[in-house]
Amino acid sequence: MLGLDEQTLKTRSLARNEALFRQGDKVAAIYFVEAGRLRLERRTFDGRLLILGITPSGRFFVEAALFADIFDCDAVATEPSRVRIYPKQAVSKALRTDPANAMSFLTLMAHQVIELRQRLEVMKVRSAKERVLVYLDLNSEPDGRTVNLRSQLQDIASELGLRREAFYRSRILLKRSVAV
């Protein structure tokens, strides 16, 4: 991927809740999640944990960091995980020298912008119950009835900007109303 020889790239295994990097660490690489899931998180001034996003296996992770000097959040494995390490300098060179790699990377970034816009759409919904419904709708399979949850429920709650209790209450209300 990205024109780099994957056989020469290093991998790193992470235990559940192990950090890949911490806020303030120097950016030396981007990562491809080969197995498991990684969560981007940041603590607020009052100590609350904000989940910025969760990346499942089979996807690149923290690509925007190519254009940063330091990480602005923590990356933590939500389950035993393995990442392939793509050195920042090598990726930057591949993107500068190969238009096909640059277009592939640009496509990836465009899809992320679309996903972020969807997350913003969800966050603008005031009602917790309706926010959960919008999330489920955006993440439903083509049949419109099946949703493959990509994360633990408490992480989804945080990603939706809801306290765990409000998220669970909304799920119960939706089940009772047969909306879910």
CB 162 within 8 A of CB 49: no
Predicted confidence band of residue 178 (pLDDT cuts 50, 70, 90): low
User: What's the structural domain count of the chain?
Assistant: 1
CB 83 within 8 A of CB 28: no
CB 72 within 8 A of CB 42: yes
Q: Is residue 39 part of a domain?
A: yes
Here the tokens at position 30 are: 């981007």
What's the chain's length in residues? 180
Q: Is residue 41 part of a domain?
A: yes
CA 149 to chain centre: 13
**Residue 16, φ and ψ in degrees, nearest 5:** -55, 135
Q: pLDDT for 126-143, tens place per residue?
A: 888 888 888 888 878 888
Q: Is residue 116 part of a domain?
A: no
Residue 27's pLDDT is what?
A: 96
**CATH number of 62's domain:** 2.60.120.10
Q: Is residue 128 part of a domain?
A: no
Q: pLDDT for 74-111, tens place per residue?
A: 999 999 999 999 999 999 999 999 998 899 889 988 98
- Report CA-CA distances (Å) from 76 to 34, 110, 138: 15, 24, 25
Q: pLDDT for 21-78, tens place per residue?
A: 999 999 999 999 999 999 999 988 998 888 888 888 999 889 889 999 999 999 999 9
- Which residue range(s) make up the domain with 26? 1-98
pTM: 0.75
Decide: helix, strand or coil at residue 24.
Answer: coil
Q: pLDDT for 155-173, tens place per residue?
A: 788 778 788 788 888 877 7
